[in-house]
Amino acid sequence: MLAAVAIAFAGMAASTKPARANAEDILRFLAGAVIVGAIVNAIDDHHTPRYYGSSALPDSCMETVRVDWRNIQVYNKRCLNRGNYHGLPQRCERNFRVNGRNRRGYVAQCLWDAGFTRANGWSQPPRHNNPPFVPSPPTYGHSDRLPTSCLMRYRQNGRSIQGYWASCLRDSGFRNMPQNCRLRTRDGDRLFNAQCLYNAGYRN
């Protein structure tokens, strides 16, 4: 499914900063009693996750909510409750209104900054200690095929250009992507130029 997003950016520039959103910025962006959004990647509402421990959160409870054209990773509260996860930081909790119904969840970046990790063993890297990018040609197989669910479009110099959401690729398991292909919008959203990734050997 093509995540089509077309908003005018006054300017975009390649960034060498870590592709990691700041939790405080996200919480400020989501200020308000109720946040109206749309589900991009929804969880199975009837799924009961495995309990991995008090600080390791199951990926099966994480979904993507789009708010004002920005994708936010959120842990669904009802799913976590079914897995016996309780007592999570209230400052990370938000109430989203999706299709006219309330959907409570915890901002994932806020929980990660608070010390929680993902149950698949991946955890957030230190804020200013990301490993350097070491370019290497991808092997043609599963690891180089980019997920179509991460596709989007952006505008640059009046042209509509195909790209990939950086956070979506990261959550799909893609790490150490070519830094010369990465862009950042004025709103702070990270993305990758699609043609640049294809030229680097990745496939759609």
- The per-residue pLDDT for range 21-47, each reduced to its tens digit, is 577 778 887 876 567 878 877 888 788
The 8 Å CB, 24+ separation contacts for 47-52 are 47/79, 47/82, 48/82, 48/83, 49/79, 49/80, 49/82, 49/83, 50/83, 50/119, 51/83, 51/84, 51/85, 52/119
**pLDDT per position as a tens digit, 109-163:** 899 888 898 886 444 443 433 443 333 434 333 457 888 878 888 777 778 888 8
Q: DSSP character for 130?
A: P
pLDDT of residue 84: 92
Place of tokens 């979904």: 63
Residue 55 has pLDDT above 70, yes or no: yes
